[in-house]
Amino acid sequence: MSDDRPAPPTVPIDRPPEEAAKRLGHFRPRLLLHEDHDLCPGCGEPVAIRILLDAIEELGCAESAIGVIGIGCYTAFTSTLDVDLVQALHGRAPSVATGAKRMRPDCLLFTLQGDGDMVNEGLQEVLHTAARGEAVTCVLLNNGVFGETGGHMTATTTLGQRTKNSLEGRDAAYHGHPIRIGDLIAPLGGTAYAARGSVHDAASVVKTKAMLRRAFEAQLEGRGFSFVEILTMCPTGWFVPTAEGPDYLENVLRPVHFTGELKNAERCVTTEQLLEENAAAEREAAARGARQPAR
Amino acid sequence: MTAELLEGSLAIARAALLADCRFFAGYPMTPFTELLEHMAEALPTEGGVCINAESELEAVGMAWGALATGARAATGSTGQGLALMQESLSEITRAELPLVVFHMARGQFDYTQATRGGGHGDYRHLVLAPSDVQEAVELTQLAFHLADHWRNPVQIYGDFFLAHTYESVELAPLDLPALPEKEWAVDGRLGGSGRSRNLNPLGMEKGAKGIEPERFWVRLQEKHDRMAETEMRHEAFACEDAELVIVAFGSLARFARSVVQELRAEGVRVGLFRPISLWPFPAPALSEAASGARRVAVLEQNGGQMIDDVRLAVLGRAPVEAIGGISSDDAGFGVGDLYAPAEIRRRVEAALAARGGVQ
Ligand code: SF4
C-alpha cells in the first residue's frame, strides 16, 4: 500500500450519521404492487407480510395462492398484494379459506389475521378449522392490542400490559388471562404444523420466514392444517416511541407468547415447555461462560 | 318428465343440484335441518361439497369462500340462525358474491328480517317466497340464476309447512338465459401478474391507493335500484272486480286461495294478491290489483310486518287491515289455526262484514 493513497473514511460510531445511508438495492418483493402503505413507522406488520410474500414466491406458489385477509391495519394491503385476495370479516377468515380451499384444492390458501380478529372474535373458527384438518395456513399477526382501533386490550394482551382499556395494566382478577392461541391449536388432531415467530430482530425474521415455509409445505403436502403466529411491533398501539418497539416486544410480549415451533412432524409442545427448554439452554450457556444467552 | 312425490326439503335440494350448486354449508336448525341432511347426502356423490359447519357463522363464511372461487354455493337456516349470519350476509352483498340463502323459517314472523335484513349498511337481497313445492323447485333454480346475474344474494323464504309437505313435483330444468363468465372469481393464477383480484366488501381495489367510498356506494346502489325495478314478481287471483283483496304470501297464500275460490263460487267478490318476490315488493301490481277494492286484508302469520309494504303500495286508496296473527300449534312451528281454511274464511268474512256485510 503506497503512502499517497487517501485514508479510508472513518465512520463515527458515537452518534447517528448526519446523512441517511444510501439504499443499496431495490427490496420490493415481486408480489407487492407498490411500496406505499399507510402503516405506522416501526410497525411489524409490513415485515411480516414481506416474509409471507417471499415464502410464497420461493415455494413457487405465486400463481396458485389465494389469501383471505381479516380486519386490521394490514387490511390496507388488499390493494397492494399482488396475489388473489378475499377480504373477510373479523374472525371469519378460516371459514372463508375453508370454502375456497374445498372448491380449489390445488391453490395455496392462507389467511392473515390480527389477534383481535383471530383470538377474540374468531377463536372458535380457527380452532374448528384446525380440528377439521383443513388444508389451509392461518397466519396470526399478534401485537397484543387492537392496533387499528388505537391500542385496546385483546385476548392476547399480557398481564400488566397497559392498553387504552386496561389503563393500569391488564389485571388477571379483573380482565382475565391472556390466551396463548398456539397452545390451543397445536394439540388438535388436524394440526400438522404450528409455530410462533417474531419480527423484532433480524435473526427472528429469518427464523419466522422458515416457519412460514414449513407451514406452507405442510399444506402443499396435504398433511393438514398449519398455523404461524408472528409477534409484531405496534409502537402506536403500545404508546411507546417507535425505536423502542422491538425492546417492548422482547420484554413484554415474548416472555408470555414465547417463540418456537409448537408442533411439527417430530413433536408437539406447549409454550411452557419452550420456555423451560430456553431457560435450560440459558443455564447451560451460562455454565459454559458464554456471554449471550441462547434464544 | 314424470312427476315424483317428494318432501319439500328434498325437492329443494334436488333443484339446487339441478342448478349446479357445488357447495353447501349449514348448521342444523328446524325446519332447515332436512335440507341440510339432503344436501349432505347428495352433494358429495355429485362431486360437490357439503360441510356440516360448527355454527351458522362458519356456514356462511364457508359459503363466502366457495363463492369467491366462482362456484355456485348456498347456505341457509331458520330465522334464528340467519340472525347470526347477518353480518356476513351484508358483507357478501357488498363484495357482490352470488349467494343463495335458504331461509326455512318457522313461520312468517321473519318477514322483516328477510326483506330488510339485520345486517349493517345499505344492502338488499332478492327474496322469493314459493307457496308450494313445485314453485319452490322453480324458484330455487331461478335463485341461483338471479344471484349470478346480479352478483347479489338471493333468498328463498320457505317455512315449516313447505319444508315438510310431500307433493307431486316435476324436476325439470328451467330454460334460463346464458350468463357471462365469472372473470372476477379468484383462482390464484393471476398472482404476480399485476392483475390479481381483490374480492372486497370495503370498496378497496387492487392497485388503487385508498378507497373511494362514494363511487363504490353509488355503483351498488344503482344496481339495487335496477334490481328493484326489474325483479318484481307476483300472482293476482280473481282481483279484477274484487271488493276485498286479500294479500298473503308463501304457504299461507295457498290456504287463502282456496278460501277465495270457495267464496267466489258463492258469488262473493274477493281476490288474492300474492307477492312472490318479497323484495322487491310488487307494489305497482298490488296498487293496480287493489284499485277497485274497498278494502285490503293482509293475512300474514305475524304481528303485522308485510302490512307496512302493503300500505305503502296501496297508499291510502283503500283501508288496509291485518287479519292474520300468530298461528301456533303444540309443536310450536306455526302450523296452527291459520292453516285451516275455515279459520281464514271466518276472518275474511269478518273483514267483509266490517264494511257492510257479505254480498
Ligand atoms: S396501529 Fe400498530 S399495527 Fe396498526 S399500523 Fe400502527 S403500528 Fe402497525
Pick among B199, B202, B205, B212 to test the A interface (most A CBs inside 10 A):
B199
Tell me the pLDDT of chain A averaged across its residues.
Answer: 92
pLDDT per residue as tens digits for the range A57-99: 999 999 999 999 999 998 888 889 999 999 999 999 999 999 9
| Residue A76 confidence (pLDDT) | 84
| Residue A17 confidence (pLDDT) | 67
Ligand 1 atom showing the smallest separation from residue A44 Cα: 8
Q: Is B209 on the interface with A (CB under 8 A)?
A: yes
Nearest residue, CB atoms, B191 vs list A79, A83, A89: A83
Angle, CA of A243, A247 and A250, to the nearest 5°: 150
Q: Do B198 and A89 touch (CB under 8 A)?
A: no
- What percent of chain A has pLDDT above 70? 92
Ligand 1 atom showing the smallest separation from residue A45 Cα: 8
| Residue B331 confidence (pLDDT) | 67
| Residue B359 confidence (pLDDT) | 42
Q: Is B46 on the interface with A (CB under 8 A)?
A: no
Cα distances (angstroms) measured from residue A167 to each of A14, A155, A173, B328: 37, 15, 15, 52
pLDDT per residue as tens digits for the range A188-212: 999 999 999 999 999 999 999 999 9
DSSP string, A20-82: PPPP-S----TTBS-S---PPTT-SHHHHHHHHHHHHHHTT-TTTEEEEE-SSGGGGGGGTB-
Q: Which residues of chain B have pLDDT under 50?
A: 357-359
Contacts of B205 in chain A (CB under 8 A): 79
Q: Which of A234, A239, A240, A242, when mutated, tests ligand 1's pocket best, judged by the most ligand atoms within 8 Å of its CB?
A: A234
Q: Which residue of A has its CA nearest to B71?
A: A103
Pick among A31, A56, A81, A86 to test the B interface (most B CBs inside 10 A):
A86
pLDDT per residue as tens digits for the range B219-253: 999 999 999 999 999 999 999 999 999 999 999 99
The band of A34, judged by pLDDT with boundaries at 50, 70 and 90, is confident
Cα distances (angstroms) measured from residue B37 to each of A157, A270, B50, B82: 42, 39, 9, 18
| Residue B207 confidence (pLDDT) | 82
| Residue B242 confidence (pLDDT) | 97
Q: Do A99 and B64 touch (CB under 8 A)?
A: yes
- Between A12 and A120, residue with greater pLDDT: A120
Contacts of B71 in chain A (CB under 8 A): 103
Nearest residue, CB atoms, B188 vs list A84, A125, A128: A84
pLDDT per residue as tens digits for the range A240-289: 999 999 999 999 999 999 999 999 999 999 999 999 999 999 999 999 98
| Residue A27 confidence (pLDDT) | 73
Q: Is B214 on the interface with A (CB under 8 A)?
A: no
Q: Which of A37, A40, A146, when mutated, tests ligand 1's pocket best, judged by the most ligand atoms within 8 Å of its CB?
A: A40
| Residue B358 confidence (pLDDT) | 43
Interface of A with B in 72-101 (CB under 8 A): 75-76, 78-89, 91-92, 94-101
Give the Å distance between the CA of A237 and the centre of ligand 1: 6
| Residue A283 confidence (pLDDT) | 96
Cβ B182 vs Cβ B176: under 8 Å? no
Cβ B66 vs Cβ B98: under 8 Å? no
Q: Do A82 and B58 touch (CB under 8 A)?
A: no
Q: Is A118 on the interface with B (CB under 8 A)?
A: no
| Distant-in-sequence, close-in-space partners of B326: CB < 8 Å, separation ≥ 6 | B107, B109, B301, B302, B303
| Residue B2 confidence (pLDDT) | 86
